[in-house]
Amino acid sequence: MFESKTYNEAGCYCVWLSHDGEFKPIIVDDFFPCVSDHGGHAFSRTHGPELWVMLLEKAYAKIFGTYDRIEAGLTGDAIRDLTGAPYEYKMTSEGEDKIWEFIYESY
């Protein structure tokens, strides 16, 4: 998903995401929005020196136009965007066994 696995001195990174049915390279920099009140990042945060979380979030924001548009969503959409794999949601009032039957048949 990340073109490079190492820190880039120029601060430029390429993230591959599946959007509208095809994988696209999304170029982002390592300038992240911050909140001046407490000096931290405005959106996602890490507990260590990792950049990948914020880079991935920035790539998503770039595809969808703004950070506000990626505030919520469905798990299946995220899996499709990250892997390109299709998904299908199943809901049933017939119980858990019907869901497991569907999963087994789909496998």
Where along the chain do its domains lie?
Answer: 12-106
CA distance 85 to 21: 10
H helix or E strand, kind and range, residue 62: helix 52-64
Where do we find the tokens 């890490």?
A: 46
Low-confidence residues of the chain, pLDDT below 70? Answer: 36-39, 42
| Residue 13, helix vs strand vs coil | strand
CA distance 31 to 87: 33
**Number of other CB atoms surrounding residue 92 within 10 Å:** 11
Where do we find the tokens 């994988």?
A: 23
pTM reported for the whole predicted model = 0.71
pLDDT of residue 39: 66
pLDDT of residue 23: 93
